[in-house]
Amino acid sequence: MILFLLVNSMCDLCCSYCFYTIGHEKRDSSYIDSQKAEIFANAIDRIGFKSVILTGGDPLYSGLKEHSYALIEELKKRGIRVLINTSGAKLDDVDYDRLVRLGVDRIDISINSYDEAIHNSERGYYQDAVRLIDEMHKRGYRELATTTVITPTNSSFAAPTLSWLLDKGVEDARFQPVFMAKELQDYSAIGCAMNACMKIVSKPHTEHYVRLCEEAFTDPNCRVDDCQMGKNYFVCNAKGDLYPCFHVDERLCNILSDDLDFTRMQIRKSSESKRGACFGKHCVSLFDNPIFWKE
């Protein structure tokens, strides 16, 4: 089982499309304090999560990153795989060295275009994101992934961005649609991007994967059962509240205060229940085989 852990809701960036900017999520002052790192790691370990994806906000947000480093240390002590989603903003050599030393298993850097102006118009801190890729590679760190959120603005640059990422040695380049309010949601941009990227990298199942995504995005009756949220993937906030998905409000339990039997029962019930559409659509980016060009 894999846990998305929202360690805070703060970020050095304010991306134009971000769940927090568009009002889908609300920032608050809660974060996983270094003093709670041990009890969080114990709870996560006891429940049986094998991998934890630290996200937010930003786990490496300049004002709170020390707390995340303490948490990573505790998780690694227990043999748990630690993956980080980050913008890379405001990091320096001390951070790059530390990430290597801590044995972080994967760093997923958000980058919206190879083009600095486009990236910065949606996110900001382009140079920092690129520096994180380059500096980690320089240190012999190979476990880099990238996430490119496809918007109407950057969609036509998706294929050259993929080529650029591959040239930089990033093999695990993920693309996902921007999610907007239901009435504004438009999946044509991701469709165009995927079709263009498919021409650059084509693996045996690429076409099938792209068709599957298109079906999930465009067919209102499509119920793709492959979404693993609430089954193998869960979401926990900085207060310890566990949810089946980012976009489902029904709290399952609190991993810090509820007893283990109750927590496990809630997880089992969630895994066995049939999920409906979320955020108005299936979160195709979270299919078990999310990268259509991966073996």
Q: Which of 147, 131, 68 is CA-nearest to residue 102?
A: 68
Site residues for ligand SAM, 31-60, by CB under 6 A, read 55-56, 58
- Edge-to-edge strands, sheet with 241-243: 172-177, 144-150, 106-110, 81-86, 51-55, 2-6, 233-236, 241-243, 253-254
Q: Based on CB atoms, which residue is closest to ligand SAM, 55 or 266?
A: 55
Give the integer Cα–Cα distance in Å for 26 and 35. 24
Q: Based on CB atoms, which residue is closest to ligand SAM, 18 or 144?
A: 18
**Is residue 17 within the footprint of ligand SAM (CB under 6 A)?**
yes
Site residues for ligand SAM, 179-198, by CB under 6 A, read 179
Q: Based on CB atoms, which residue is closest to ligand SAM, 58 or 258?
A: 58
- Nearest-approach distance from CB 135 to ligand SAM, in angstroms: 17
- Nearest-approach distance from CB 52 to ligand SAM, in angstroms: 14
Give the integer Cα–Cα distance in Å for 58 and 84. 9
Phi, psi of 82 (to 5 degrees): -120, 125
- Nearest-approach distance from CB 281 to ligand SAM, in angstroms: 11
Give the integer Cα–Cα distance in Å for 224 and 284. 9
**Is residue 164 within the footprint of ligand SAM (CB under 6 A)?**
no
Q: What is the DSSP string of 174-219?
A: EEEEPP--TTT---HHHHHHHHHHHHH---TTHHHHHHHHHHHHH-
Q: How many residues bind ligand SAM (CB under 6 A)?
A: 17
Q: Based on CB atoms, which residue is closest to ligand SAM, 19 or 141?
A: 19
Q: Based on CB atoms, which residue is closest to ligand SAM, 114 or 266?
A: 114
**Is residue 279 within the footprint of ligand SAM (CB under 6 A)?**
no
Among 1, 2, 16, 19, binds ligand SAM (CB under 6 A): 19
Give the SS3 label for residue 184: coil
**Is residue 270 within the footprint of ligand SAM (CB under 6 A)?**
no
Give the integer Cα–Cα distance in Å for 100 and 103. 5
Q: Based on CB atoms, which residue is closest to ligand SAM, 108 or 135?
A: 108
- Contact yes or no for 240/258 (Cβ under 8 A): no
Q: How many CB atoms lie within 10 A of CB 154?
A: 23
- Contact yes or no for 72/278 (Cβ under 8 A): no
- One character per residue 64-103, x = contact with ligand SAM (rule: CB under 6 A): ---------------------xxx----------------
**Is residue 155 within the footprint of ligand SAM (CB under 6 A)?**
no
Applying CB under 6 A, the span of 14-22, 36-44, 160-168, 199-207 interacting with ligand SAM comes to: 14-22
Phi, psi of 18 (to 5 degrees): -55, 145
Site residues for ligand SAM, 203-262, by CB under 6 A, read none
Beta strands 233-236 and 241-243 are antiparallel
- Nearest-approach distance from CB 259 to ligand SAM, in angstroms: 31
DSSP state of 34: G
Among 34, 42, 62, 147, binds ligand SAM (CB under 6 A): 147
Using alpha carbons only, how large is the chain's radius of gyration in Å?
Answer: 18
Residues making contact with ligand SAM (CB under 6 A): 11, 15, 17-19, 55-56, 58, 85-87, 110, 147, 149, 176, 178-179
